[in-house]
Amino acid sequence: MSEFNKNIILADNQALRAENQRLKMQYEYALKTTEILSAKFDQFVNIIPQAVFELDADGNFEFLNPQGFQFFGYTKQEIYNLEFWQLFDSEDRQRLWRNVHDVCQGKCNITGNEYTAIRKDGSKFHALIYSCPICDHSVDKLHGLILDISNRKKVEDELESSRDQLRDLSIHLQSVREEERAFLAREIHDELGQAMTALKMDLLWIDKRLPKESEGIIDKTKSMVTLLDSTIQVVKKICSDLRPGLLDDLGLKAAIEWYTEEFIERTGIICKLQINFEELEIDKDLEISIFRIFQETLTNIARHSVASKVQADFYLKKDILFMKIEDNGIGITEEQINDPKSLGLIGLRERVYPWGGEINIRGFKNKGTIVFAEIPLKVGEK
């Protein structure tokens, strides 16, 4: 071999050794970096207050952090001999298996699912699980987090219970208020109204018997009769506002038609009414709620909408009453709809709640507002 070729081989060997040394240093650096990251990850996983787990394709544990052992009360040896599903209530296992399978197959996004978990001692807690798949050499695995949300669920249940109690109280207060209105309307009509009518008759009797030369007294008597007539009309209006007699005597449809005419006369706003049903045999309290929703909606329109026209439609489909009231005013805003101080709107929603109904309100700037309600009924034609 020539000296030239020897030099080439020697140079190549030196270059190869240098490259090997460089690759070795890179490998050692990467390995050290990985070890550092792994140590930091282990440190992080071990201190977070949630259970961190990793499962194989069969649902067996490959990893569980210390918090996970505390959650379930098992030792490391015990829990690694269990399948993941055994840690949850039997009613949740099928759903848990289906969700885990879908996650492993990439059929759903990373979302939290709630389950009832079971500890070693048999006690239960509410668990929220977030998980995602790991693809390792074509073998599906899963890792994720388990959160103990028992305290949160307790607070949610307490809030829901408080909300139900407040709604029950609201319903009771509405019922009591309607009873008081009906009582006051009857008392005012029967007692005050009759007394004022009797007083008017007495004044007319006196007027007929006064000497013709008593012009001053005659004029005063006529003025008193006129004042009594005006006061009697006010009393009738108060009674109607408290409890429309038509609602009790002739039913919902007649009361709605009467109030529409009253609204037009009082406000000057054009109101077109369309009702596609005759009188219905429905619960009296429900009848009152429907009338009050209509009444309060028109009152809000008169106060706030600056509208000149209103279209009110009532129609019945498959035992569901639909009510749509639309005006051409300035339009309610989202802030006003969601304002907790908008007691009138809250009252509308509370009116339909006991009957399983819904009410939606939408506003369009300078184009008006739509109030749409649907209320399930058990009805029969009168």
**What mean pLDDT is reported for the chain?**
81
The reply to whether 3-153 and 247-382 are identical in fold is no
| Higher pLDDT, residue 340 or 307 | 307
Distance, CA of 89 to CA of 115 (rounded, Å): 8
Tell which residue, 344, 340, 343, 345, has the closest CA to residue 362: 345
- Give the residue-averaged pLDDT of 9-36: 68
Neighbours of 340 (CB within 10 A): 7
Tell which residue, 151, 194, 179, 309, has the closest CA to residue 243: 179
Distance, CA of 282 to CA of 273 (rounded, Å): 21
Distance, CA of 221 to CA of 210 (rounded, Å): 10
Q: What is the DSSP letter of 354?
A: G
Give the H or E element holding residue 215: helix 215-242
**Domain 247-382, CATH class in plain words:** alpha beta
Q: How far is CA 374 from the centre of its chain?
A: 15
User: CA triplet 373, 263, 305: central angle to 5 degrees?
Assistant: 65
For 216, left (φ over 0), alpha (ψ -120 to 50), or beta? alpha
Q: Where residue 162 falls among pLDDT bands split at 50, 70, 90?
A: confident
Give residue-wise pLDDT tens across range 74-117.
Answer: 998 898 888 888 999 999 998 888 887 777 776 666 668 899 99
pLDDT given at position 37: 63
Angle between helices 343-352 and 150-187 in degrees, nearest 10: 90
φ, ψ of residue 100 to 5 degrees: the values are -65, -40
Distance, CA of 377 to CA of 353 (rounded, Å): 13
- Classified as helix, coil or strand, 107 is coil
- Classified as helix, coil or strand, 60 is strand
Q: Where residue 318 falls among pLDDT bands split at 50, 70, 90?
A: confident
pLDDT given at position 382: 44
- Give the residue-averaged pLDDT of 142-149: 89
Q: Are 334 and 363 in contact (CB under 8 A)?
A: yes
The amino acid at 147: L
This prediction has a pTM of 0.56
Distance, CA of 24 to CA of 165 (rounded, Å): 72
Burial of 273-304, coded b for 16+ CB within 10 Å and e otherwise, reads bebeeeebebeeebbbbbbbbbbbbbebbbee
Q: Are 376 and 357 in contact (CB under 8 A)?
A: yes
The amino acid at 370: I
Torsion angle (degrees, nearest 10) of CA 319, 324, 325, 327: -170
- Give the residue-averaged pLDDT of 217-228: 85
pLDDT given at position 182: 72
- Give the residue-averaged pLDDT of 125-138: 79
Query: Quick one: CA dihedral 40, 46, 52, 54, positive or negative?
Result: positive
The count of residues in the chain is: 382
- Pair of tokens at residue 181: 């209105």
Is the per-residue pLDDT at 255 higher than 70? yes
Give residue-wise pLDDT tens across range 37-81.
Answer: 666 666 667 778 889 998 887 788 888 898 999 999 999 889 888
3-153 is a CATH 3.30.450.20 domain = yes
- Pair of tokens at residue 300: 């809000």
Of the candidate ranges 151-155, 230-234, 259-263, the one whose mean pLDDT is the lowest: 230-234
Distance, CA of 324 to CA of 370 (rounded, Å): 7
Name the residue ranges covered by the structural domains of the chain: 3-153, 247-382
- Cα separations (Å) of 287 from 13, 28, 131, 252, 322? 100, 82, 51, 6, 14
Distance, CA of 287 to CA of 136 (rounded, Å): 65
Q: Are 380 and 279 in contact (CB under 8 A)?
A: no
Give residue-wise pLDDT tens across range 351-371.
Answer: 888 888 899 999 999 999 999
Q: Are 61 and 158 in contact (CB under 8 A)?
A: no
- Give the residue-averaged pLDDT of 378-382: 49
User: CA triplet 370, 372, 376: central angle to 5 degrees?
Assistant: 175
